[in-house]
């Protein structure tokens, strides 16, 4: 994987009737990388992707792809492909015609077109379905047709807008691996929009977490998990998300800070030896472990994981302990303090 | 079979017939019976005081085939259909594509296009009568500005049918546009975006994606336009009454004349039967042949 910047967004802003779309998006995407734009709905991740695709034009800022300024270029001049959430397959055209649509438009000779079609269908496992219409395919197959259409032209940049959200959970896992493998094998740069953190964390080299049109943190999945920039990132990433404790509820942290701790770093200890005394408010058996939710003044999302089946009755009092080294400290604005 | 199952079956059958009966009664009284009666009438001679009605077989039909006016009317109607159907559909599609775009005052444009449809045909004909009037009419007024001579559009055989055709197109295009507009709005926005990214021009997108997806609508409109080209004659009564010298006479108007002006019911019946047969054949071809080549979502 090379590390030279392939896609560059510089100070991009897009507003609708004064309403916020995205603001101050600055991002460097290296060639051959897998970048996930992650965030809750309405955070501007799809808008960012559409700006990159050329389906919208930014009000401010600059977009460079492969060193070329494409800020105001038409979508077709940006040499990229896109997979839509709805797949956007042409319903009256067969699989083969759908996949070859772009090649035909770009007047690729017939022989070459058929070779590329064959290869794309081979990669996506769709050989034998050439003559089917999208309406005669399952959701997973349609999704693969959309993928085949995106890779057939051999563009180096592929944008994906929640491509898995219309699939059932089991299929989603399988396709996730397929997409990741495809991206590695073809060496293409993928920008992937999702609201599902499992997708982002498991597939991406770089995760861009967004909220309200602003980037909250850019980093590797490990970065986001173990060094969240702010309390939003801390509470968004991870399942269960990080618990936040007001510093007044703990000794030695002053009174205007927030302290974060992950469930796996909390231990239940015998009475009298713990740092906090909490009440059990829920017990959830997850299979390999049991999630126990805890209640304490000035905390939110506090919970602990116990191995195996170890349900605890609601209302029980337990004491918990944790190391200072596992704590994340945020200032009164929610920003991470050094450490 | 046990008695209760038998009873249940009979109950279902009665229920079914009850649901069916209103349509059955109405269609029988006002569609099936008149059609058969028409066919029957067309096989008998016209009764006069001296000669009673008698069975003549296909004599009414052969009389018609020997009638030069009949052939002129058929020619007129073919011309009328051949021009109004494609032109009004083409204009409807163009207007719909435009009114579906991201333009300003879209609501106004759509309403404006639809207005001719809302007007009763008689009112529309009166409006156009004013346009076409020699000397006073709008067309002549505009022509005189450019020094063109006055033309009696409705009063001369060369232009009368064309004047009628233009009124019909004006009346129908807006109506068909509404169907196209509705169909266009069912095409997802993403298809355009996907085509854009693939580098398809607006023309390619329209030709390869939009038009095929509009095929079911086109078929439906074509059948309607065909029926209208036979059915729509209200404006003839106001504008030309089929004249001058039958230049703008259409089949249904001729049928009406036969039956209620010349009181020749058998000839009118024979002509009606022929129109029904021709329309039925064309509709059958459309729905059997073209349907198979059309993509329905």
pLDDT at B116 over 70: yes
Task: Tell me which residue has tokens 């009181």.
Answer: B263
Closest by CA to A290, choosing from A277, A304, A279, A278, is A304
> Which among B190, B197, B297 has the least Cβ separation from residue A75?
B197
Choose the closest CB to B194 out of A80, A88, A106: A88
CA distance B212 to B99: 19
Query: Based on C-alpha coordinates, what's the Rg of chain B?
Result: 25
Nearest residue of B to residue A159, measured between CA atoms: B197
Put simply, whether A70 touches B (Cβ < 8 Å) is no
Q: CB distance from A90 to chain B under 8 Å? A: yes
Tell whether A107 is within 8 A of chain B (Cβ): no
B296 touches chain A (CB under 8 A): no
A 132-151 residues with CB < 8 A to B: 133, 135, 149
Please give, rounded to a whole number of angstroms, the shortest distance from the CA of B289 to a CA of chain A. 17
Handedness of CA B261, B265, B267, B269 (dihedral sign): positive
Q: What is the model's pLDDT at position B297?
A: 61
Q: Would you give the distance in Å from CA B215 to the centre of its chain?
A: 19
Residue-wise pLDDT for A295-337, tens only, equals 988 888 899 998 889 888 888 899 999 888 888 999 888 888 8
- Contact (Cβ atoms closer than 8 angstroms) between residue B269 and residue B42: yes
Cross-chain residue pair B188–A76, CB shorter than 8 Å: no
Cβ contacts of A81 on chain B, cutoff 8 Å: 197
Cross-chain CB nearest to A82 (options B197, B204, B212): B197
As a whole number of angstroms, the distance between CA A124 and CA A13 comes to 36
pLDDT, average across residues B130-156: 81
Cβ–Cβ contact A91 with B under 8 A = yes
Substitution target from B188, B189, B198, B296 for chain A, most A beta carbons within 10 A? B198
Contact A105 B198 (CB under 8 A): yes
For residue A3, what pLDDT is reported? 65
Residue A160's pLDDT band (cuts 50, 70, 90): very high
Q: Please answer yes or no on whether B191 and A55 come within 8 Å at the CB atom.
A: no
Question: Among residues A272, A248, A247, A280, which one has the least CA distance to residue A261?
Answer: A247
User: Looking at residue A1, what is its pLDDT?
Assistant: 46
Strand partners, A260: A244, A328
Taking phi first (over 0 means left), then psi (-120 to 50 degrees means alpha), and beta for anything else, what does residue B263 get? left
B116-124, long-range: CB < 8 A, 24+ apart: B116/B170, B116/B171, B116/B173, B116/B174, B116/B175, B117/B171, B117/B172, B117/B174, B117/B175, B117/B178, B119/B171, B120/B234, B121/B171, B121/B232, B121/B234, B121/B235, B122/B234, B122/B235, B122/B237, B122/B238, B124/B167, B124/B170, B124/B171, B124/B235
The pair of three-digit structure tokens given for residue B147, joined into one six-digit string = 């020094």
Please measure the distance between the N-terminal and C-terminal CA atoms of chain B and give it in whole angstroms: 43
A224-236 b/e (C-beta count within 10 Å ≥ 16 → b): bbeebbbbbbbbb
Tens digits of per-residue pLDDT, A190-230? 999 999 999 999 999 999 999 999 999 999 999 999 999 99
B16 close contact with A: CB closer than 8 A: no
- Decide: B275 and B64 in contact? Cβ < 8 Å: no
Q: Is B22 on the interface with A (CB under 8 A)?
A: no
| A241 three-state secondary structure | coil
Q: What is the pLDDT of residues A79-91, one digit of tens each?
A: 999 999 999 999 9
Query: A86 vs B208: CB contact, 8 Å cut-off?
Result: no
pLDDT of residue B53: 80
Helices (H) and strands (E) in chain A, counts: 8, 19
Q: What is the pLDDT of residue B294?
A: 72
**Domain residues of chain B, as ranges?**
60-292
Q: Does A82 touch chain B (CB under 8 A)?
A: yes
Give the model confidence (pLDDT) of B250-285 as tens digits.
889 999 988 898 888 888 999 999 998 988 888 888
The pLDDT value given to residue A93: 92
Q: How far apart are CA A308 and CA A285, in angstroms?
A: 8
The rounded distance, in Å, linking the Cα atoms of B169 and B88 is 5
Instruction: Write down the residue that tokens 């009666």 correspond to.
Output: B37
Does residue A109 sit at the B interface (CB-CB below 8 Å)?
Answer: no
Q: Does B190 touch chain A (CB under 8 A)?
A: yes
A272 or B191: which leads in pLDDT: B191
CB contact under 8 A, B188 and A88: yes
- Average pLDDT, integer, range B202-231: 90
In Å, what is the CA distance from A60 to each residue of A15, A57, A173, A218, A243? 9, 9, 38, 21, 37
The alpha carbon of A161 is separated from its chain's Cα centroid by a whole number of angstroms, namely 10
CA distance A37 to A49: 8
| Cα–Cα distance for residue pair A232/A244, rounded to 1 Å | 10
CATH class of the domain at B60-292:
mainly alpha
Buried b (16+ CB within 10 A) or exposed e, A113-146: beebbeebbebbebeebbebbbeebeebbbbbbb
Query: B222 to chain A, minimum CA–CA distance in Å?
Result: 20
Q: pLDDT by residue (tens digit) across B36-86?
A: 999 988 888 887 778 778 888 888 888 888 888 889 999 999 999 999 999
Tokens matching residue B59: 């004599």
Bond prior to A240 in cis (omega within 30° of 0): yes
Sorted by where each starts, the structural domains of chain A and their CATH numbers stand as 5-233 (3.40.50.300), 239-330 (2.40.50.140)
């Amino acid at each position: 994987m090379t590390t030279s910047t392939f896609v560059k967004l510089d100070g991009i802003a897009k507003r609708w009737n004064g309403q916020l779309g995205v603001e101050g998006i600055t991002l460097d995407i290296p060639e051959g990388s897998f970048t996930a734009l992650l965030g809750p709905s309405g955070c501007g991740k799809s808008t960012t992707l559409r700006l990159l695709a050329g389906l919208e034009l930014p009000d401010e800022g600059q977009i460079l792809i492969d060193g070329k300024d494409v800020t105001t270029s038409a979508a077709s001049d940006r040499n990229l492909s896109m997979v839509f959430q709805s797949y956007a397959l042409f319903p009256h055209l067969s699989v083969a015609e759908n996949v070859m649509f772009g090649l035909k438009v770009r007047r690729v000779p017939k022989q070459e077109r058929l070779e590329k079609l064959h290869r794309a269908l081979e990669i996506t496992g769709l050989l034998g379905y050439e003559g089917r219409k999208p309406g005669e395919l399952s959701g997973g197959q349609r999704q693969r047709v959309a993928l085949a259409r995106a890779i057939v032209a051999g563009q180096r940049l592929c944008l994906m807008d929640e491509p898995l959200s219309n699939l059932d959970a089991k299929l989603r896992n399988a396709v996730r691996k397929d997409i990741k493998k495809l991206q590695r094998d073809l060496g293409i740069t993928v920008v992937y929009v999702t609201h599902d953190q499992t997708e982002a964390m498991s597939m991406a080299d770089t995760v861009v977490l967004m909220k309200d049109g602003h980037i909250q943190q850019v980093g590797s999945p490990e970065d986001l998990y173990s060094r969240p920039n702010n309390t939003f990132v801390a509470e968004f990433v991870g399942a269960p998300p990080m618990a936040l404790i007001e510093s007044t509820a703990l000794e030695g942290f002053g009174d205007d800070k927030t302290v974060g701790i992950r469930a796996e770093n909390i231990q239940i200890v015998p009475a009298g030896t713990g740092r906090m005394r909490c009440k059990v408010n829920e017990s959830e058996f997850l299979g390999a472990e049991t999630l126990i939710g805890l209640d304490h003044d000035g905390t939110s999302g506090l919970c602990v994981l116990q191995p195996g089946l170890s349900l605890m009755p609601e209302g029980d009092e337990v004491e918990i302990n944790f190391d200072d080294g596992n704590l994340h400290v945020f200032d009164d604005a929610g920003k991470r303090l050094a450490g | 079979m046990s008695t209760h199952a038998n009873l249940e079956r009979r109950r279902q059958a009665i229920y079914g017939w009850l649901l069916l009966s209103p349509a059955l009664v109405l269609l029988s009284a006002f569609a099936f019976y008149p059609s058969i009666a028409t066919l029957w009438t067309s096989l008998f001679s016209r009764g006069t005081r001296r000669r009673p009605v008698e069975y003549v077989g296909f004599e009414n039909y052969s009389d018609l085939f020997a009638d030069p006016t009949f052939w002129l009317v058929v020619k007129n109607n073919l011309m009328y259909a051949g021009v109004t159907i494609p032109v009004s559909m083409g204009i409807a599609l163009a207007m719909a594509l435009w009114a579906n775009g991201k333009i300003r005052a879209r609501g106004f444009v759509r309403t404006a296009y639809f207005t001719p449809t809302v007007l009763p045909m008689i009112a529309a004909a009166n409006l156009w009568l004013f346009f076409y009037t020699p000397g006073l009419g709008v067309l002549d007024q505009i022509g005189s500005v450019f020094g063109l001579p006055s033309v009696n559009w409705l009063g001369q055989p060369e232009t009368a049918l064309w004047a009628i055709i233009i009124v019909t197109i004006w009346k129908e295009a807006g109506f068909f546009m509404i169907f196209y507009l509705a169909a266009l709005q069912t095409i997802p926005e993403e298809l355009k975006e996907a085509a854009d990214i693939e580098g398809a021009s607006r023309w390619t997108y329209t030709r390869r994606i939009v038009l095929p997806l509009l095929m079911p609508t086109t078929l439906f409109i074509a059948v309607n336009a065909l029926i209208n080209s036979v059915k729509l004659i209200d404006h003839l009564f106001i504008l030309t009454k089929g004249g001058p010298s039958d230049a703008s006479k259409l089949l249904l108007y001729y049928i009406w004349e036969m039956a209620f002006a010349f009181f020749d019911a058998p000839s009118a019946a024979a002509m009606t039967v022929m129109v029904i047969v021709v329309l039925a054949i064309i509709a059958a071809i459309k729905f059997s042949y073209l349907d198979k080549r059309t993509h329905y979502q």
